[in-house]
Amino acid sequence: MCQKFSDHRMKRRQQIKMFWRRLHGEDNKLKLLMFDVDDEDFVENLNDCLEAFQCNIHPILIPSGSSGSYFVRNLQGRHIGVFKPKDEEPFAENNPKWPKFLQRFLCFCCYGRSCLIPLNGYLSEVAASLVDERFQLYIVPKTRIVKMASPAFFYPRRCCSKSEVFPKIGSYQLFVHGYKPAYDVVPGWEFIGTNDPLTSLERKRFLVLFQKMCVLDYVIRNTDRTMDNWLIRYIPDETLDIAAIDHGLAFPVKHPETATVLRPFVYGWANMDSTREPWDEQLRDRLLSLLTPMFVHRLCTEIKKLFMIDTTNNRFLINNQLKVFRGQLWNLRLALLENESPLKMIQRPLLVVTKRYRKYPTSDIWEECFKAKTPDYSGRRCC
């Protein structure tokens, strides 16, 4: 019985390999962080996606949002993933949502975000998942780079001919069930006292999960965290979980505060009472044990390899992304050492950090491995 189950699983994994190899061809760069065949839940999800495609059950466009994002379904029509093609991002030419099309021509002065690399949202989504896993936060649904082809996607139509269906590269995130947007749940939790709807254990768990999200948003400098793109699953006395989604507008090349005067892109959770709470001790100790120069070096190397998958990306801009990223890590470490609250952490002076070493860090002392300086504010625009 066990042998039969093992053979069946191996056969399904081989199907996934063959299918995605047909889509990706021999693109060695893409194989780097596409997905791991030993990643059981992701491989199973892709297999369900493949079976649905073969039965003409195609993705459906998500009506909300500013980009072409799609719910991917299985044979039963159940949502199993979210695919975001690169060429349908908010400011891409094939974006099917008309508000961004109008903004592109009628309000070009506020078009896009000057602190972000255009058309890098799909890489930012995957990089956020990577950071989440390396920091052992596990609040971001697993996200990888894939290519998909479906007539449900938006393709440019040529004159007097049908649009050609071809594989699109983008981010693919596992769908999470049973969650609600934070704005539907959190307002009733902000009143701590005799009418607190959460038990003491639930309150503690929520605080830990919330602080994990604060860490994630801060280090990747998320410019688009609102109360509708972090989700909560809550069953009284049974389950409490947080899922952080929509990280396509993170990893800026410079701090948003140094790029614009009128659009600071504050964190959506910054005004919550929970930001004033001290760090959970276990979370604080674990993060401090991770934040070594070698950990930062390896993580930055992985992120750089990921962003270099897109051959149109500029190496200089990617290095600027890493300078901002290291600056956020520098401040996170100091905030944890001084036991500052998340609120005080986001109020720390902005920094950009460069490395002092050539190949690998030669010390565990941050100041010997990295050089921190304040960013340049001289190039700020109105929006």
Same-domain status, 170 and 185: no
State which of 134, 155, 174 marks the end of a domain. 174
Distance of alpha carbon 118 from alpha carbon 249, whole angstroms: 10
On whether both 161 and 210 belong to a single domain, the answer is no
CA 3 to CA 322: how far, in whole Å?
47
The reply to whether 195 and 67 lie within a common domain is: no
C-beta separation of 79 from 73 below 8 A = yes
Is 198 a member of any domain? yes
Helix ranges (H only) for 338-360 are 342-346
Residue 7 within any structural domain of the chain: no
Asked whether residue 131 is assigned to any structural domain, the reply reads no
Residue 130 lies in a domain: no
Same domain, 150 and 243: no
The pLDDT assigned to 311 comes to: 87
* Domain assignment of residue 134, yes or no: no
Residues 6+ apart with CB under 8 A from 191: none
Our count of domains for the chain comes to 2
197 and 165 within one domain: no
Residues 197 and 90 in one domain: no
Same structural domain, 43 and 28: yes
Tokens representing 25 are: 């061809």
Dihedral, CA atoms, 238, 239, 240, 244, nearest 10 degrees?
180
263 within a domain of the structure (yes/no): yes
Range of the domain at 168: 19-112+142-174
Nearest in space to 84 (alpha carbons), one of 141, 136, 123: 123
Q: What is the pLDDT of residue 238?
A: 92
Taking Cα atoms as reference points, which of 334, 333, 330, 321 lies closest to residue 255? 321
Token pair belonging to 70: 């799609």
Q: Which of 332, 64, 115 is nearest to 212 (CA)?
A: 332
Domain assignment present for residue 337? The answer is yes
Tell me, what's the pLDDT at 269? 94
Same domain, yes or no, for 61 and 194? no
First to last CA, the chain: 63
Answer yes or no: do 81 and 166 share one domain. yes
pLDDT of residue 31: 38
**Are both 166 and 226 inside the same structural domain?**
no
Confidence (pLDDT) at 291 = 98
Would you call 99 exposed, middle or buried from its count of C-beta atoms within 10 A (0-12, 13-18, 19+)?
exposed
Given this model, what pLDDT does residue 76 score?
94
What's the average pLDDT block by block, 10 residues per block, for the chain (383 residues)? 59 58 45 54 86 92 88 95 93 76 59 82 96 97 92 76 80 96 84 72 96 98 93 94 96 91 85 94 98 98 94 93 98 98 97 95 96 87 65
Residues 87 and 32 in one domain: yes
Q: Residue 355, Cα to own-chain centre: how many angstroms?
A: 25
Question: Which among 368, 36, 34, 310 has a CA at the least distance from the CA of 171?
Answer: 34
The answer to the question of residue 346 being in a domain is yes
Residue 192 and residue 314 in one domain: yes
The contacts of residue 46 (CB under 8 Å, 6+ apart) are 16, 19, 20, 35, 146
- Tokens at 42, concatenated: 């992701």
DSSP 8-state symbol, 112: S
